[in-house]
Amino acid sequence: MSNVLIAAVVFIAAFVLTWVLRRYALASSLMDIPNERSSHSVPTPRGGGVAIVLSFLAVLPFLGVLQLLPWPFVIGTIGAGAGVAILGFLDDHGHIAARWRLLGHFSSAAWALYWLGGLPSLLVFGYAFDLGVIGHVLAAVYIVWLLNLYNFMDGIDGIASVEAICVCLGGALLYVLLGAANLALVPVLLAAAVAGFLCWNFPPARIFMGDAGSGFLGLILAVLSLQAAWFTAELLWSWVILLGVFVVDATFTLLRRLLRGDKVYEAHRSHAYQYASRQYAAHRPVTLAVMLINLVWLLPMALLVGLGYVDGLLGVVIAYLPLVLLAVKFKAGQLEKAAD
């Protein structure tokens, strides 16, 4: 079976499953009801991200049998991804205390890292650093942070899906250019699964992703970035660049709220993308702007780093500077009453 056909099957599966999940959400009143912290104005079904989870994870054992993927990667990804998705699904249906969610997140990160081999050596200005056990701990924190920030950033129609597709296709392109097209298959399949869901989630959304989908995407993208680093150290920096829109907005917002003494675990609407969507009174222009930033700015920078033309850490700094300026411009983390 060709890789194109596999991707097409995953896309169709995600599209159909999202339709099924939408009907289930409507029938069981699994709705996201707007409140003062919401960025939407009409009740909308949620939990559609389960379609991404099922269509993507279901194909991994098949690829293992065909020897297109190593079994440790398959086992690690399915175990960690399913764990996070189930936790998110349960949280979508009823609240789970933050401490238990965090425990589940770190358990899933540890499972993925065990099968992946932990954190490879970091390349900084031409020098390789093997951080040992400390590196593995930092890798777990990185996975959990990316998992949670993806949840934070899934607040307007289509943004989380567009980000995932751009990151995955950018990572796949890097593999192709570096002569490792076989490694491009997994990010392409994840992009296909997300694209099938996006058909229902593009503004105006007919179903939301929910915690099951957003947390799953954050974890899988983190795992894929670490897998890329095992292929060549520069690629970790490239993936970090590709993830820049979400990393900068979420991190800048969190730090600003921490410094102000806010309860960071409480829901809010103070991310830059949320302020932007209110300023333009629509989700679509913000989601499309994220896509444009990824394609026009972050992808070229990621390619320069991945192909060895720019040092990785320097490339991250250059790529992130304009994003920080945008975060400031759109009041990321600013007290909502003062900003509005």
- Does any domain span residue 113? yes
**Per-residue pLDDT tens digits for 261-281:** 887 777 788 999 999 999 999
pLDDT given for residue 38 in this prediction: 59
Cα–Cα distance, 187 to 17 (Å, whole number): 20
**Per-residue pLDDT tens digits for 83-99:** 999 999 998 777 788 88
Q: At what angle do helices 185-201 and 3-27 cross, to 10 degrees?
A: 30
- Does any domain span residue 36? no
Domain around 85: 3-30+42-339
Closest CA to 56 of 174, 184, 186: 186
- Does any domain span residue 37? no
Cis peptide before 61 (omega within 30 of 0): no
| 3-class state of residue 133 by DSSP | helix
pLDDT given for residue 104 in this prediction: 97
Question: Cα 43 from chain centroid?
Answer: 24
pLDDT classification of 189: cutoffs 50, 70, 90: very high
Instruction: Give the predicted TM-score (pTM) of the model.
Output: 0.96
- Does any domain span residue 215? yes
CB 31 within 8 A of CB 23: no
Q: Which pairs from 188-191 meet CB under 8 Å and 24+ separation?
A: 188/3, 188/7, 189/6, 189/7, 189/10, 189/56, 189/59, 190/52, 190/56, 190/164, 190/217, 190/220, 190/224, 191/164, 191/165
| 3-class state of residue 124 by DSSP | strand
**Per-residue pLDDT tens digits for 148-160:** 999 999 999 999 9
DSSP 1-57: --HHHHHHHHHHHHHHHHHHHHHHHHHTT-EE---TT-S-SS-EE--TTHHHHHHHH
Closest CA to 158 of 307, 334, 39: 39
316: left (phi over 0), alpha (psi -120 to 50) or beta: alpha
What is the number of structural domains in the chain?
1
The top-scoring range by mean pLDDT among 27-31, 68-72, 127-131 is 68-72
Cα–Cα distance, 121 to 125 (Å, whole number): 13
Residues in the chain: 340
- Does any domain span residue 183? yes
CB 136 within 8 A of CB 119: yes
Cα–Cα distance, 333 to 255 (Å, whole number): 8
Does the structure show a pLDDT above 90 at 70? yes
pLDDT classification of 33: cutoffs 50, 70, 90: confident
**Per-residue pLDDT tens digits for 293-308:** 999 999 999 999 999 9
